[in-house]
Amino acid sequence: MKIESVKVIPSPVEVIFTEEKEVVKQKMDEIYEQNKEQLQKRQIRGFREGRVPRHIIEDNIGINNLYGKILDEAYSKMLDEFDQNVVGLIRINVLNKNGDIPEYEDLKMIAIVDVEPKCSVKKTEFSLKKIQPEIKDEELEARINMEINSKSRLETIEEDRTPQKSDILIIDFEGSLNGKVAKEACAENFQYTVGKTKFVDGFEEVLMEMKAGETKEAKIKFPNDYPNQKFQGRKVVFKITLMDINKNYVPTIEEAAEAEQKTVEEYKNAIKERLLKLKEQASENDLEEQISNQVIENCEFAPIPESMVLKELKNDNKIENEFRNLVEANKDKIDEITGKKIGNLNDTELNRYRQSIYSKYRDSKERNVKIDLATEQFCKKFKIKILKRDITAFFDDAISNGYFTPEKSEELKKRMETDKYFKKYIEYGILNKKLILHIKEKFCE
């Protein structure tokens, strides 16, 4: 394969590459023979099934559609032989006549690709300061109160009375519009905290006049700006049953200590130790953040291709889940551009909403890309290398922490042998940990 770069700096790069006609012809024949039986079943006017000439089938389907696999394989071959690290494909075109894959001449293609940007180290000194964790009396007191409050429980009020402020009520309610039950206004065993739970004006007033075991009907008008359009400005008839009236009981420190089979002093010390560990971890996190910031500051970067940032965004499951939750929460709202319900939009139409989520995280993902690039260069400067035992330790830790099963671990190890991009992804993570450890040991006060 012949490869030449037309435009190298800045990214994107135009790469022209050529596959020899003998290779192309052989692959075309292989693809046709592999699919011949299915292709001959196509119904083409003027030809009987099984008697359609090959060139007619090629014209009917389209050369590039039928033999597109050749383009994919040629591109993959180019990536293996190209002397730069390609990080994203923008587009690929055939330069032969009519843009078609030729049968009897060399296949010439042009790929517009993003390549890994240059990163150079300007400075190898780091100025770090580790926060020494300390616990003040008021912090410990607040932590003790927080942990005791976390052990609170509901206690049913046995007294025959109506609800009071801060009571926690267990209620069933059913709302009807024009005599028909509206499922959006119904709930069972709903926990309602007097003075805190927000629903609709007038609902709590009805509850405040009830006793446990009572059922009441009430007609309540919803405001014109209520979030659910179905109820805006309309009167809903509620059937409300007050099941229980409860109080939130917070144990004493003596009760909390006894529950853990400790004295009060032992209980306080245990909480103090947990708080100290949290502060030590926060101190380590702060130190690693200092290192990451200075790793970036100490390097000079060529412009980061958008494809690298986009890959980071697409590979983040939390971002994708946030997008899905946004669509689900707004599925009944009308999209201003299309006039459709958001829940009925196709993937292309939904892309605007995905991009709005991406825009929130774009800067942090570009920062991740810079950290990876800078990590690689600093590791070269400090002569930090990945050893076989580092790979083993990475997967052993992942298994012990529940990230992978042993079977998944073996599958990913094998993938590293064949997928150079996945291999580099794993190696970046390992190198980053080794670099942070090295910088801590050498530069931390």
In a shared domain, residues 365 and 291: yes
Task: Give the pLDDT of residue 289.
Answer: 96
Residue 137 inside a domain? The answer is no
d(CA 183, CA 230): 11
DSSP state of 97: G
Peptide bond into 12 cis (omega under 30): yes
Task: Give the pLDDT of residue 83.
Answer: 82
Closest CA to 1 of 64, 82, 63, 66: 82
What CATH code is carried by the domain that includes residue 408? Answer: 1.10.3120
Q: Of 249, 284, 299, which residue is a domain's last? A: 249
Closest CA to 299 of 361, 363, 383, 372: 372
Residue 132 inside a domain? The answer is no
Question: What's the alpha-carbon Rg for the chain, to the nearest Å?
Answer: 33
In a shared domain, residues 286 and 405: yes
In a shared domain, residues 307 and 181: no
In a shared domain, residues 415 and 326: yes
C-alpha angle 429/431/434, rounded to 5°? 115
Q: Of 88, 115, 142, which residue is a domain's last? A: 115
d(CA 164, CA 207): 10
Task: Pick left, alpha or beta for residue 195 (phi over 0 → left; psi -120 to 50 → alpha; otherwise beta).
Answer: left
Task: Give the pLDDT of residue 8.
Answer: 62
**Residues 90-131: pLDDT tens digits?**
999 999 998 999 988 999 999 999 999 999 999 999 999 999
pLDDT in tens, the chain (445 residues): 888 877 766 678 899 999 999 999 999 999 999 999 888 888 888 888 888 899 999 999 999 999 999 999 999 999 888 888 888 899 999 999 989 999 889 999 999 999 999 999 999 999 999 999 999 999 999 999 999 999 999 999 999 999 999 999 999 999 999 999 999 999 999 999 999 999 999 999 999 999 999 999 999 999 999 989 899 999 999 999 999 999 999 999 999 999 999 999 999 999 999 999 999 999 999 999 999 999 999 999 999 999 999 999 998 999 999 999 999 999 989 988 999 999 999 999 999 999 999 999 999 999 999 999 999 999 999 999 999 999 999 999 999 999 989 999 999 999 999 888 889 889 999 999 999 999 999 998 6
Task: Give the pLDDT of residue 134.
Answer: 93
Which helix H or strand E contains 69, and what residues bound it?
helix 68-81
Task: Give the pLDDT of residue 47.
Answer: 87
Q: Which residues pair with 363 in a beta bridge?
A: none
| Residues whose CB is less than 8 angstroms from the CB of residue 22 and which lie 6 or more positions away in sequence, other chains included | none
In a shared domain, residues 336 and 397: yes
Q: What six digits make up the tokens of 367?
A: 């920062």
In a shared domain, residues 408 and 293: yes
In a shared domain, residues 172 and 223: yes
DSSP state of 99: G
Task: Give the pLDDT of residue 45.
Answer: 85
| Residues whose CB is less than 8 angstroms from the CB of residue 109 and which lie 6 or more positions away in sequence, other chains included | 16, 17, 18, 19, 71, 74, 75, 92, 93, 94, 95
In a shared domain, residues 309 and 424: yes
What is the reported pTM?
0.74
Do 435 and 374 touch, CB atoms closer than 8 A?
no
- Evaluate the CA torsion angle 42, 46, 50, 55 in order and state its sign: negative
In a shared domain, residues 353 and 242: no
d(CA 253, CA 141): 11
DSSP state of 136: -
Torsion of CA 280, 284, 285, 288, to 10 degrees: 170
d(CA 326, CA 335): 13
Residue 326 inside a domain? The answer is yes
Which helix H or strand E contains 107, and what residues bound it?
strand 107-115
C-alpha angle 302/432/275, rounded to 5°? 125
Do 250 and 149 touch, CB atoms closer than 8 A?
yes
Task: Count how many domains the chain has.
Answer: 3
Residue 141 inside a domain? The answer is no
Q: Of 85, 115, 145, which residue is a domain's last? A: 115
Residue 262 inside a domain? The answer is no
Which helix H or strand E contains 181, and what residues bound it?
strand 180-193
Residue 193 is part of which domain span? 153-249
What CATH code is carried by the domain that includes residue 54? Answer: 3.30.70.1050
d(CA 362, CA 377): 23
In a shared domain, residues 316 and 429: yes
Q: If you search the block for the tokens 């009519």, which residue do you land on? A: 98
What CATH code is carried by the domain that includes residue 210? Answer: 3.10.50.40
Task: Give the pLDDT of residue 190.
Answer: 96
d(CA 428, CA 158): 62
Residue 261 inside a domain? The answer is no
Residue 295 inside a domain? The answer is yes
In a shared domain, residues 164 and 52: no
**How far out from the chain centre does Cα 127 lie?**
33
Residue 126 inside a domain? The answer is no
In a shared domain, residues 245 and 281: no
Closest CA to 238 of 216, 213, 223: 216
